Amino acid sequence: MSDFVRIHEVGPRDGLQNEPGVIPVADKVALIDLLGTSGLRDIEVGSFVSPKWVPQMADTDRVLADLTPVEGVSYAVLVPNMRGWDGFVAARVPGVIYEVAVFISASEGFSQSNLNCSIAESVERLAPVVRAAVAAGVGVRGYISCVTDCPFEGPVAPDAVARAAEMVLAVAPMQLSLGDTIGKGTPERVVTMLEAVSQVAPVTQLAGHFHDTGGQALANIDASLEMGLRAFDSAVGGLGGCPYAPGAPGNVATEAVLDLVHGLGFQTGVDVDVIAKAAKMARGMR
């Protein structure tokens, strides 16, 4: 297996979306621009969702306009539907590399609570976005939440996660980020889940997205590395969580993930000193 681990920085979106205070656009842009100098190749910078539900992301169009793009860096935005796609198209800057993220849940209960629809209906909603992105030459990434536990239904069966993955991949090929949304996963359960999902998608197509709510995120990443995963989401400074998942603060910190994977002998191309500065900046936004 490759000795290179790709880190997807999600702090400016998945991290900051859960902060209660208003964060100025200039502060968001300063964080993104600093992260862009670190060697990261994937930075999630915002989302085109209803400002009524996620007010922290209401200024994503201004963030895209003001950030200083770095050559070779892909800037990701979450786009839940065609209204969001239209917002992204209006805001994107020519010449910048973008990626569109779409999402579903492996749990029917979470899907109903978060999206007010079934899993199957959520796939129908994201399909036009994926098709539009593919037609426009924009990269696409899929998020699957609640891959071990649901805040409403409890433990999620590994086969349910595999079915959700299969449904998304039937729309188009893409990387799938598997999210332990409430941070209750353990290495043993993560391995069982990955064994199921790897029956429908190669591990090279999968990424791990672990919250550290239960203090298991790094152990889960270690177990995922053993399974062959080489891509992980993290948030600088351990920012954020999911506003629709009660009791789910705290993405795993980028600096902690780097310490782990570098200590295990993997390469990332990321400058830990720059990340340390970004983590200090991010913590100051809380």
- Residues with catalytic function: 242
In this structure, the chain runs to a length of: 286
Instruction: Return d(Cα 180, Cα 4) in angstroms, integer.
Output: 23
A 10 A CB-CB count for 109 gives 15
Instruction: Return d(Cα 248, Cα 212) in angstroms, integer.
Output: 9
A 10 A CB-CB count for 24 gives 10
Alpha-carbon dihedral 69, 41, 141, 238, rounded to 10 degrees: -100
Within 8 A by CB and 6+ apart from 4, the residues are 230, 266, 267, 268, 269
For residue 161, give Cα distances in angstroms to 100, 242, 246.
Answer: 21, 19, 20
**Token pair belonging to 228:** 């062959």
User: Under DSSP, is residue 255 helix (H, G, I), strand (E, B) or coil?
Assistant: helix
For residue 37, give Cα distances in angstroms to 40, 41, 77, 90.
Answer: 8, 10, 19, 26
**Token pair belonging to 205:** 């197509």
A 10 A CB-CB count for 255 gives 19
- Residue 102's beta-bridge partner residues? 142
